[in-house]
Structure 1
Amino acid sequence: MRIDIITVLPELLKSPFEASILKRAIDKKLVEVHFHNLREYTSNNYKQVDDYQFGGGAGMVMMIEPIDLCISKLTSQRDYDEIIYMTPDGETLNQQTSNSLSLLKNIIILCGHYKGVDQRVRDAFITKEISIGDYVLSGGELGAAVLCDTIIRLLPGVLNDETSALTDSFQDGLLAPPVYTRPAEYKGMKVPDILLSGNFGKIEEWREQKAHERTQQLRPDLLE
């Protein structure tokens, strides 16, 4: 898989990809992640990527020309399955979206800034718009890092145990059940006996029951 990220702050984005699971995936060549500084596609001496809104109003708007030049260069080199724009008014990211995106070969992620991008960018180039929640960030970079993490961890070979991702919260529409590890007893707090029984059929039944109970208590909206 190849992910191309268009941003005005590549230095803000790089650190998550230089550690942990994301770095391991890149080192194992399971994914390529490339950063493209939008200021390198400007035609003015000031490397300006934003301008005032037509019609007035507070806040600057990202200009269409540098975005067009960057996306056009990338799409001339390969076919892309999705061109994603990170924006607060996009579709809220969920596990099913990440599952679908993890099956693709090439994607572009455009990070918004200021008051957003010229609407013509969204009309002409963007195929999918994603939000990571109902709040506003200073830019799309942190959202793009979150999106990439949710996708990359699903790629075959990234996790040491590939079945781990399949039992995460939301994969089956439920929250994950509680989990425990050694010691079996700590300061009077005991691990449930069923988990120590070795009866894996009963253990799975217990986990499913607890997943439903936890979802009902914490996220009943998922059961509607």
Structure 2
Amino acid sequence: MKVPIVKAGERPRAYIISRKTKETEISLNLSLDGGEVKVSTGIGFFDHMLTALAFYGGFGLELTAKGDLHVDGHHTVEDVGIVLGQAISQALGDRKGVCRFASAYIPMDEALCFTALDLSNRPFLVFDAAMPQERIGDYDACLTEEFMRALAVNSGMTLHMKALYGNNAHHITEALFKSLGVALKHAVKVEGDGVVSTKGVL
């Protein structure tokens, strides 16, 4: 990944992490300020969603995951959420100057989805998105909530997501990932040099 040029005295907002368990092996290179996007998890639809998330978030993301897909995709999807969340948290550092709050509505055909988030260091997930179909290719639609929970907990993000309507699980899921990317793009922007909190710390 080509890391963006950083001025003298500035901290690059990037993080490289790997995680290996008996169920998954994951390597991830994240830059909050842009770069190449290359994703390979063994689950085609999940690759598509992560690529969309990074693209609309303006992130550089190189991710390789090998998991026990002979069981199902649960461990792979959840563990990617864990690792990506940890990388986001580390790349944010002390979170000084970041906008912190952001939200986005994203339509996709008949579906409309909403994300609101706070990079608060107080992890919480509210997920309200019924999936009309159980499967999207080789991806279990219920795993979107598992990914978002792992991401929120490990990044220190308060995350609220809602599908207002929709009758196609593919469209709903893609709108959720895209709305998360758009919201994150704004939330991680640096617009000052102080912590956006009345407490003085996040």
TM-score, L = length of structure 1: 0.31
Q: Which has the higher strand share?
A: 2
Q: Which has the higher helix share?
A: 1
TM-score, L = length of structure 2: 0.33
